[in-house]
Amino acid sequence: MKNKKILIYGLGTTGLSAIDALKDDNSLYVYDDNKGRVDLIEEELPFYDGEDVDFVVKSPGIPLDSGLLPELAEKDVPIISDIEVAYLLSDCENFIAITGTNGKTTTTDLLYHLLIDGGKVAYVGGNIGVGVLPLAKRAKKDDYLVIECSSFQLETTLEFRPKVAILTNVTEDHLDHHKSVEAYRKSKEKVFANQRDEDVLILNIDDPYLAMIGEEADHALVVSTTPVQQDGAYKDQDALYLSYKGEKVFLMNRGDMLLVGDHNVRNALEAALCAYVLGVDVASIKNTLMNYRGVSHRMEFVDTFNGVDYYNDSKGTNPDSTDVALASLSKPIHLLAGGFDKGSDFKSLFEKHAPAIACLYVYGATKAIIKEEALEAGVKEVKEFETMKEAAEAAMDRAGAGEAVLLSPACASWDQFPNYEVRGDEFKQIVRERWS
C-alpha cells in the first residue's frame, strides 16, 4: 500500500498505529469526532474536509453507520480495518487468525505459547495485547503472526486471507454495533471468506452454528469434546486426540491439563491442532498444555480467604461467557454482574444457573434489567449497587466458607471502566486489600 491517499478515521490506539505504519509511503488525512484528539498526533496531518481518498482505515469500535462513513461508502471508498492493512503491508506469509464470541483470547494466547515452545518465531497481537500493525511490520516471511480478531475488525476486511483461521464459537453478541445476529455472524465468517484449498479452517463443531458451516466446508478441521470421524481434534472419555491427514495421534489425558472447564478443553484442542498442523511436535504440545495456566481476567483464581474462593472473570463480557464461568464452579456462587448495555438477553443465563447462585450483586448501566430478568428466572436474591466496588464489598461481607465470589459481569466494561482489564485489576485489588 504505497502512494495512496488514505483517511485515518478515529484517532485512538488503532488510528495512531495506522498513522505510524502508513505515513512514510502515503498521503494521510485524519478525522475524529473529537477534534481534540488531533493533538495526540506527533505529525502535522490535515484534518479531513471532504477530499477524495483511496481508502479509509477505520478504528474497529466505530459503527459503519456513524459520522461520515455512510457518505464515504456511497462514494464506493473502501473502508478497511487495521488487520486488513497489516495483511497488505506485511512480508509475513503465516497469518493465524482466531475469532469467536468466547474463547478467542485463551486460544490465541495458548497457540502463541505452543508455537514459541515448539521452536517457531511467533508474534501475538490484534485484539489481545499489542496492536497488529507494529507486529506486522516486524514479522518476517516465515514467522508466525497470531492474531485475535474481533467482529469489528473483520467486518471491514476485503482481501485478508489467513493461512489458518480458527472459529471458537458464534453466539449472540455486540448487537448494539452489528444491529442483527445475522450481521454479527457474517462478520465472523469473513475470517475464512478468502481462504483457498491449501489454507486451514478449524471449527468448534460443539457450536451448532459452526457445525452447520463445517458440513459445507469440505476442507475444515473440526474440534469437539466428543469423538468425531473427521480430521481434527477431540476428547474421547478422558483422552485427547489429534487427527490429521488420516493419522490419529494420542495427545494427553484431560487430567494432565491445568486449565479447568470443558470450554478450555475445546480452546486447548483448537490451539493444539493448529500447532500440530504447523509442524510443532506432539511432545512439545503436551508439555506446554501441562504447564499453561491461562490468561488474566478469564476465570483467574485470585485467592482463598476465610474459606471463600475468589475468581476474576472480567473478560466475561456477554451472557454466554458468564454461562461458561458459572458452569466451571461446583459450589454456591456470589456473582457480580453488570456494566455497559450491549442489548444482550440475560434471562436464559439465569434460568440455567439460578440454583447455583447464592446471591447476585448487580451494578452499573445494566443493573435494573439484569435484576428484573434474574428474578423472573428464579434467582432467589438480588442486591443492587451503583459501582462494582460496592457490589464486591457486599459480596465479601456475605460469602461464607465453602462458597465462591465470582466477577463475571456478562457485560462490557465501558460504562465505568476503559476496558475489562482495568475492571478485573480493580476487583483483584479490592479483594486483596480487604484481606491484606
Decide: 363 and 388 in contact? Cβ < 8 Å.
Answer: yes
User: What are phi and psi for residue 305, nearest 5 degrees?
Assistant: -130, 130
294 annotated binding-site participant? no
106 annotated binding-site participant? yes
In which residue are the cell numbers 444491529 written? 179
103 annotated binding-site participant? yes
The three-state secondary structure class of 199 is: coil
Return the C-alpha cell found at 243. 487427527
How many Cβ atoms are within 10 Å of 331's Cβ, its own excluded? 11
CA–CA gap between residue 22 and residue 30 (Å, rounded): 12
CA–CA gap between residue 161 and residue 94 (Å, rounded): 10
104 annotated binding-site participant? yes
5 is catalytic: no
Q: Where are the beta strands (DSSP E) in 59-150?
A: 79-80, 95-99, 122-126, 144-148
How many Cβ atoms are within 10 Å of 373's Cβ, its own excluded? 21
3-state helix, strand, coil in the chain (%, to 5): 35, 20, 40
Return all residues near 219 (Cβ < 8 A) that are at least 6 apart.
Answer: 197, 199, 200, 201
14 annotated binding-site participant? no
Provide the total of helices (H) and of strands (E) in the chain, helices listed first: 16, 19
State how beta strands 404-407 and 333-338 pair: parallel
Q: How far is CA 343 from CA 173, 370, 373, 380, 410, in A?
A: 8, 11, 13, 24, 11
Q: Which helix (H) or strand (E) holds 331?
A: none
127 is catalytic: yes
Return the C-alpha cell found at 54. 483511496
102 annotated binding-site participant? yes
267 annotated binding-site participant? no
Which residues is 382 bridged to in the sheet?
360
In which residue are the cell numbers 512480508 written? 91
Catalytic entry in 174, 177, 235, 353: 174
Catalytic entry in 104, 235, 342, 367: 104
Tell me which residue of 195, 212, 196, 194 sits closest to 204, measured CA to CA.
212
104 is catalytic: yes
Concatenating the DSSP letter of every residue in 209-275 gives HHHHHHHH-TT-EEEESS--SSSEEEEETTEEEEEETTEEEEEEEGGG----SHHHHHHHHHHHHHH
Which residues is 7 bridged to in the sheet?
29, 56
**Active-site positions?**
104, 127, 174
Binding residues for ATP: 100-106
Binding residues: 100-106
